[in-house]
């Protein structure tokens, strides 16, 4: 059984983790708001200059050429915005993942300790039941670790695919200029 001090320490650690994750979530929201404000300001500035340019057009050919010249920067800015958004999301998500993994590891350790304690206090003749319980705990721990590894691999693959797409898109947009 856990002592009162252990329970208080556990609750204190959980509250600290909660406040830490809340702070990280707010940091992510702040970065997102900053990104959106910057993008909105840039869009407003561009809209103003594009409107001025459209009002100074002398013929249809010049208007078509001006419209065509607007699409390439728009694609590049959209890609840059998406990369920034992805960076914010992965950074914030990474903090939550670290906290979850730490909490899960602590919970696994506490549960294993509880199982060991129960096994040492088990009545004579219950060795087979204790062995089965320990085997189940080991299997559950192994399964959890496998899921964590699979999620990590999937995340790494998604990040490398995004980087590859960004690297492929950058030369194509540079060639069109």
pLDDT by 10s per residue, the chain, length 177: 568 887 888 888 888 888 988 998 999 999 999 999 999 999 999 989 888 888 888 888 888 888 888 877 888 888 889 889 888 888 888 888 888 878 777 777 777 777 777 777 777 777 787 788 778 878 877 887 788 788 778 877 777 777 777 667 655 545 554
pLDDT at residue 177 in the model: 47
The dihedral built from the CA positions of residue 167, 168, 174 and 177, taken in this order, carries a sign that is: negative
CA 59 → CA 48, 52, 54, 66, distances in Å? Answer: 20, 15, 10, 11
Token pair recorded at residue 45:
């500035």
Q: What's the CA gap between 169 and 79, in Å, rounded?
A: 9
In degrees, rounded to 5, the angle at the alpha carbon of residue 98 between the alpha carbons of residues 97 and 103 is: 95
Q: Cβ of 135: how many Cβ atoms within 10 Å?
A: 10
pLDDT at residue 1 in the model: 58
pLDDT at residue 29 in the model: 93
pLDDT at residue 121 in the model: 75
Tokens 């189940």 found at: 136
Tokens 């959106």 found at: 36
Q: Which domain holds residue 147?
A: 4-176
Token pair recorded at residue 164:
């590859």
Please tell me the pTM assigned to this model: 0.60
**What domain count does the chain have?**
1
Give the chain's end-to-end CA distance (angstroms, integer): 70
pLDDT at residue 39 in the model: 93
Token pair recorded at residue 7:
């329970």
Write the CB contacts of 10 (distance below 8 Å, at least 6 apart in sequence): 2
Closest CA to 113 of 132, 137, 129, 131: 137
């Amino acid at each position: 059984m856990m002592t009162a001090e252990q329970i208080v320490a556990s609750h204190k650690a959980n509250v600290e983790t909660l406040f830490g994750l809340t702070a990280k979530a707010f940091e992510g929201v702040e970065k997102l708001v900053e990104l959106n404000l910057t993008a909105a300001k840039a869009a407003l500035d561009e809209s103003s200059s594009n409107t001025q340019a459209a009002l100074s057009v002398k013929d249809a050919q010049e208007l078509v050429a001006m419209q065509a010249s607007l699409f390439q920067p728009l694609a590049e800015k959209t890609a840059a915005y998406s990369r920034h958004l992805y960076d914010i999301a992965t950074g914030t998500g990474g903090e939550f993942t670290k906290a979850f993994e730490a909490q899960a590891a602590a919970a696994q350790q506490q549960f294993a300790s509880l199982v060991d304690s129960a096994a040492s206090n088990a009545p004579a003749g219950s060795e087979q039941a204790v062995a089965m319980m320990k085997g189940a705990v080991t299997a559950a721990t192994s399964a959890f670790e496998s899921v964590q590894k699979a999620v990590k691999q999937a995340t790494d693959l998604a990040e490398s695919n995004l980087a590859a797409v960004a690297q492929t898109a950058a030369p194509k947009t540079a060639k069109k200029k």
